[in-house]
Chains A and B, each alone.
Chain A
Amino acid sequence: MSGGGGPSLMDSLFQRTLDDLIKGIRLHLPGAAQSSFISKSLDEIRREIKSTDSQTKSTALQKLTYLHSLHGIDMSWAAFHAVELTSSPSFLHKKTGYLAASLSFRPSMDVLLLLTNQLRKDLSSTNQHEASLALECLSVICTPDFARDLTPDIFTLLSSGKNSIRKKAIACLLMVFSQYPDAVRVCFKRLVDNLESADNVQTLAATVGVFCELASKEPRSYIPLAPEFYRILVDSRNNWVLIKVLKIFAHLAKLEPRLAKKVVELICDHMKQSEAKSLVFECVRTIVSSFYEYEFAVKLAVVKIREFLLDSDLNLRYLGLQGLLLVAPNHLWAVLENKEVVIKSLSDVDRNIKLEALRLVMSMVSDDNVVEICRVLIGYALKSDPEFCNEILRSMLSTCYRNVYEIIIDFDWYVSLLAEMARIPHCQNGEEIEFQLIDIGMRVKAVRPELVRVGRGLLIDPALLGSPFIHRILSAAAWVSGEYVKFSRNPFEIMEALLQPRTNLLPPSIRSVYIHSTFKVLSFFLHSFLLPGKGVNSSLSNFVDIEPGFTYSESEQEFTEIDHATSSSGLNKRDTFTQEAVVNMLTLVITSLTPLAESHDVEIQERVRNVLGLAQLAQQEISCNHDQKEKMVDKVDLKTSIIIRLINDALSEDFGPVSFSAQERVPVPNGLVLEENLSKLDSLCADVQLSISESFSLVKPILLPTDGDSISNQQNEEESETSPAESMSLLAEHRKRHGLFYLPSDHNKNASSSFPPANDPNQRDNDVEDLVKLTEESLVLKRKPSSSRPRPVVVKLDEGERLPITVKKTDENDDLISGAVRDVLLGNEASLRSSNPSGRRKGESHSKDKVENSETGNLSKRRSKHRNHGKNVEDKEENSEKSKKKSGGRHKARRRADGGIDVAVQKQVIPDFLL
């Protein structure tokens, strides 16, 4: 075909047909060759489609439609040509035009306006096939404008003598209603008529289909129609219709218990007699979701479910499990009865069935059987493919965490379960396990010794370090071992585990946790060695009371006076920690960490230097005194001792959980812009820094006289020694200023809703005490955010915020529809008594004439009203106010009469229809 110019006769005569195009595409290999062929064909189509010959145009459009629907080629540019063809007198071309329109038109296209008249013409055509083309197209591309303009035509077709047209018109209504709720006022009566006239199964099916969709959105409005649906349920022999009616009753029965009583036996009859599995399953679903109070019906349904479960057809087994899932919330016995089948389904060949089974198993979990079920599930997880294995682990973790470990009684067991999960080869739930390990450590005091034991098990296994998925869990284990080292039987072993060479496989963020844990272990170790008899927690009781301006002599005095009977240390330190052990440990720490002091990762570098500073100081002093063993009694006076004591005081503070809303309760100070760059932080924190330097000067006089070390050492000392002092004054300062933002001690009253405590009441009390003492130590500060980071609840909060918005959006239109339905339904029976939510009823007056006159007299007003549907409620009300004024005083009296939203009135009306 020669290029240039418009389409010629030659083009028309030698145009490629659709067959040619398809064959051509099939000849070319997928890829470059094919796409170049397609773009060549598109060029041809662009030329041909402009032809004045409608045959040529039609073929071109058909080819384009083919490319659009099967190859995803854009054809919006040809929309005008499609509209042109719909008006062709030839049925073939009209059909092609409509097919293209229904497949490619979008609500935003301007060209749609051109189609309105053609649609109207075809809808009223005497040729039923033309009308059905128009209806089919309208059912797909219906816009508010179409719906508004064509409502009268569709209304006419609702009583068409030709069933094939009538059923299509009925089906179309659903689209029209959703786009233009006021159409309900016009068409609803005839829709109901179609429900009542049972002359044709297809129109009845279409009508029931429309009601089923409408009732699923807003069931209440359709309760008055219950007698009709009941009649259909009794009379109809068509399964498609029965299924829809059952769905309608499932919705209605939830609102009207008396209705449930009437239909439940009928449904049971269908369930017993029907051969069609689809109908039986629908009966089952209806019973278990809406009629679960009727014991006999549920029993029958469960029998049917069991039949499904034992069927060889996988589809039925899947549905059987779904049925059980629906029964579970109200009748757990049904699930327990079928426990074996469910458990067996966990190893089904079909992943979908396995997932359903897993959900069911999870629905069975309670505090009695959680141990047993988890044991079974772990077994399945080990056998399953990685994907399903993680699915199992995920659901176990989330189920156990539900309501803050509501169902867990034996935490020792749960902690070891977590460790077991970590060792499953495919485990990819590291984050969740990490979170729970730390979370449990903070919440449940009693489990800490077990936690440390479990953590040790994970840490000392060098094999685990090789798997990146487990790193997060190891991080939790390291933190736990450091934080609760006092429960450890052998801190030396933990130290070795933390410093093992393979830790270089860890990412820096986790490695710094390891290093920080070594710091904690080391300080605990030194404390037990240098200050035997002093419990690690010795300072806990009076720590809170320390004022910012305290001196060391004071606190020291206090420490020595304290009775340590309550010390919870798990070992007798004097026996275990010999001088040699301490020296060994210090050597170990120094040799392993020294290379890291130059690490490029600041986090690691800083922490390593802290540890090294402490270790080197201690090493010097302790080896100095090595010869004069009798002098070791004076260990208490060593500089190291003082530092260690301070560090331990700082470290021995327990962390408690912090309320999710704690941060929100912090009022934003005047002049603080949270989005701003943090560089201004310095000025904000000026007062805090001041107190640091104060405590600094307090410390120095004590330390300096005994100091005979090198400068570098001195610096290190300062680093390590200032931290506790700094932290304490910071802490006190902080508490003074922000104390109210921590969970208050009457935690149960205030915060329980936002943060339910762990289940043991005693532990909870302890936790509450801890919460009061909550600290923000500089030494451990960095651990805290990371431990609370993976909390899934944060995500949930976001969802909660999003959800209402979307609900509101969908509601609005449904509201309009159901409001209109109510008006029509109750308007017939109870005329003016009908309820009228919001002031939007002023449309009713037109709607009554609208049937006869479809002119555009009221159009502009209706259009303006229509636009509101997309906007928010306020706008709508405002607008209706306006149009109220517009519509003049004609309806004033009326409006006043039904001004109030009156659900009660409606409720009185409904029962009359029922019984």
Chain B
Amino acid sequence: MIHFVLLISRQGKVRLTKWYSPYSQKERSKVIRELSGMILSRGPKLCNFVEWRGFKVVYKRYASLYFCMCINQEDNELEVLEIIHHYVEILDRYFGSVCELDLIFNFHKAYYILDEVLIAGELQESSKKTVARLVAAQDSLVDAAKEEAASISNIIAQATK
């Protein structure tokens, strides 16, 4: 299973963290520090796997972002590489040629999409279309809720409470 997902920018800034195994806040920041030091220092065109504390971290760089996933020793590295690519493709479709800024300003959406791709550290949906459909359906629910909240009557109701 995947223990955690990290998105780190080339400058070492964290862009997304999702932990499927329990880590305390202290451990989390230690892990991020260790791994960003280890992965960012690796040159381009090297292999995408690093061994780390008895685990394997599979990472891949897309433009300025490193997508990292931590797995067990006996898990399939290539499969995880495909999962990373899968996630990136879905993000790309959703945002329309995704860039780092999209993920910064829509960090919650990046999480929601990730939650449709992975659950409990396992891949749950291998169809990009299905993920896109589910995310779109949720977005329309959100939009409906927003519209309602923005209506004048709602604001008046709040004000006169």
Give A139 to B2 CA distance when docked, in angstroms. 13
Q: Provided the pairs A12-B158, A70-B107, A202-B125 are in contact, do residues A282 and B76 lie with their beta carbons within 8 angstroms?
A: yes
Contact with A along B42-85 (1 / 0, CB 8 A): 01011111110000000000000000000000101111011000
Asked if A22 contacts B123 (CB within 8 A), the reply is: no
A19 touches B (CB below 8 Å): yes
Give A236 to B34 CA distance when docked, in angstroms. 40
Asked if A171 contacts B138 (CB within 8 A), the reply is: no
B99 touches A (CB below 8 Å): no
Asked if B78 contacts A140 (CB within 8 A), the reply is: no
Please tell me which one of the listed residues B81, B115, B158 contacts residue A136 in the complex, with CB atoms under 8 A apart: B115
Most buried by A among B81, B119, B159: B119
Contacts of B13 in A (CB 8 A): 70
Q: Provided the pairs A69-B17, A318-B49, A352-B46 are in contact, do residues A240 and B158 lie with their beta carbons within 8 angstroms?
A: no
Q: Which A277-293 residues sit within 8 Å CB-CB of chain B?
A: 277-278, 281-282, 285
Q: Which B93-148 residues sit within 8 Å CB-CB of chain A?
A: 104-105, 107-108, 111-112, 115, 119-120, 122-127, 130, 134, 137-138, 141-142, 144-146, 148
Give A164 to B138 CA distance when docked, in angstroms. 13
Contacts of B18 in A (CB 8 A): 103
A112 touches B (CB below 8 Å): no
B88 touches A (CB below 8 Å): no
B1 touches A (CB below 8 Å): yes
A167 touches B (CB below 8 Å): yes
CB distance from B72 to the nearest CB of A (A): 8
Asked if B79 contacts A243 (CB within 8 A), the reply is: yes
Contacts of A95 in B (CB 8 A): 108, 112, 138, 142
Give A819 to B77 CA distance when docked, in angstroms. 31
Contact with B along A152-176 (1 / 0, CB 8 A): 0000000000001001100110110
Q: Provided the pairs A281-B78, A319-B77 are in contact, do residues A70 and B15 lie with their beta carbons within 8 angstroms?
A: yes
Give A672 to B82 CA distance when docked, in angstroms. 64
CB distance from A355 to the nearest CB of B (A): 8
Give A240 to B127 CA distance when docked, in angstroms. 12
Give A140 to B123 CA distance when docked, in angstroms. 14
Give A247 to B74 CA distance when docked, in angstroms. 9
Q: Provided the pairs A22-B105, A136-B119, A317-B47 are in contact, do residues A92 and B78 lie with their beta carbons within 8 angstroms?
A: no
Asked if B124 contacts A202 (CB within 8 A), the reply is: yes
Please tell me which one of the listed residues B50, B126, B127, B149 contacts residue A90 in the complex, with CB atoms under 8 A apart: B149
Asked if B124 contacts A90 (CB within 8 A), the reply is: no
Asked if B25 contacts A278 (CB within 8 A), the reply is: no
Contacts of A174 in B (CB 8 A): 1, 120, 122
Give A72 to B24 CA distance when docked, in angstroms. 11
Please tell me which one of the listed residues A70, A92, A139, A318 contacts residue B119 in the complex, with CB atoms under 8 A apart: A139
Contacts of B40 in A (CB 8 A): none
Please tell me which one of the listed residues B1, B45, B46, B142 contacts residue A92 in the complex, with CB atoms under 8 A apart: B142
Contacts of A247 in B (CB 8 A): 74, 76
Contacts of A140 in B (CB 8 A): 19-20, 120
Asked if A96 contacts B120 (CB within 8 A), the reply is: no
Asked if A91 contacts B141 (CB within 8 A), the reply is: yes
Give A349 to B44 CA distance when docked, in angstroms. 11
Q: Provided the pairs A65-B108, A243-B76 are in contact, do residues A209 and B123 lie with their beta carbons within 8 angstroms?
A: yes
Contacts of B20 in A (CB 8 A): 140
Asked if B146 contacts A92 (CB within 8 A), the reply is: yes
CB distance from B152 to the nearest CB of A (A): 13
CB distance from A184 to the nearest CB of B (A): 16
Give A202 to B17 CA distance when docked, in angstroms. 25
Asked if B124 contacts A206 (CB within 8 A), the reply is: yes
Contacts of B47 in A (CB 8 A): 314-315, 317-318, 350, 352-353
Q: Considering only CB atoms, which chain A residue lies closest to B108 in the complex?
A: A99
Q: Considering only CB atoms, which chain A residue lies closest to B131 in the complex?
A: A164
Asked if B158 contacts A129 (CB within 8 A), the reply is: no
Give A91 to B81 CA distance when docked, in angstroms. 33
Contacts of B28 in A (CB 8 A): 72
B14 touches A (CB below 8 Å): yes
Contact with B along A278-321 (1 / 0, CB 8 A): 10011001000000000000000000000000000011011100
B35 touches A (CB below 8 Å): no
Q: Provided the pairs A243-B76, A315-B47 are in contact, do residues A96 and B108 lie with their beta carbons within 8 angstroms?
A: yes
Q: Provided the pairs A72-B28, A171-B120, A240-B79 are in contact, do residues A202 and B127 lie with their beta carbons within 8 angstroms?
A: yes
CB distance from A54 to the nearest CB of B (A): 8
A201 touches B (CB below 8 Å): yes
Asked if A205 contacts B123 (CB within 8 A), the reply is: yes
Asked if A171 contacts B74 (CB within 8 A), the reply is: no
Give A56 to B102 CA distance when docked, in angstroms. 23
Contact with A along B4-26 (1 / 0, CB 8 A): 00000000011111111010110
A453 touches B (CB below 8 Å): no
Please tell me which one of the listed residues A22, A91, A213, A314 contacts residue B104 in the complex, with CB atoms under 8 A apart: A22
Contacts of B158 in A (CB 8 A): 9, 12, 53
Give A129 to B144 CA distance when docked, in angstroms. 14
Contacts of A209 in B (CB 8 A): 1, 122-123
Most buried by A among B14, B115, B138: B115
Please tell me which one of the listed residues B19, B81, B111, B141 contacts residue A315 in the complex, with CB atoms under 8 A apart: B81
A216 touches B (CB below 8 Å): yes
Asked if B49 contacts A315 (CB within 8 A), the reply is: yes
Give A96 to B108 CA distance when docked, in angstroms. 8
Contacts of A93 in B (CB 8 A): 145
Give A239 to B80 CA distance when docked, in angstroms. 12
Asked if B126 contacts A238 (CB within 8 A), the reply is: yes
Most buried by B among A53, A167, A216, A317: A53
Asked if B124 contacts A69 (CB within 8 A), the reply is: no
Contacts of A18 in B (CB 8 A): 105
Asked if A349 contacts B25 (CB within 8 A), the reply is: no
CB distance from A144 to the nearest CB of B (A): 13
Q: Considering only CB atoms, which chain A residue lies closest to B21 in the complex?
A: A140
Contacts of A318 in B (CB 8 A): 47, 49
Please tell me which one of the listed residues B78, B104, B108 contacts residue A277 in the complex, with CB atoms under 8 A apart: B78
Contact with B along A250-284 (1 / 0, CB 8 A): 00000000000000000000000000011001100
Q: List 30 A-B contacts (CB under 8 A).
A: A12-B158, A19-B105, A62-B108, A70-B13, A71-B14, A92-B141, A92-B142, A92-B145, A92-B146, A95-B142, A96-B108, A129-B137, A139-B119, A164-B134, A167-B125, A168-B124, A172-B119, A202-B125, A202-B126, A206-B124, A210-B122, A278-B76, A278-B79, A285-B76, A315-B47, A317-B47, A318-B49, A319-B77, A349-B45, A355-B51
A interface residue numbers (CB < 8 A to B): 9, 12, 18-19, 22, 52-53, 55, 62, 65-66, 69-72, 74, 90-93, 95-96, 99, 103, 106-107, 129, 132, 135-136, 139-140, 164, 167-168, 171-172, 174-175, 201-202, 205-206, 209-210, 213, 216, 238-240, 243, 247, 277-278, 281-282, 285, 314-315, 317-319, 349-353, 355
Known contacts A19-B105, A22-B104, A22-B105; 9 additional CB pairs below 8 A are A71-B14, A92-B145, A96-B108, A140-B120, A172-B119, A202-B126, A202-B130, A243-B76, A315-B77
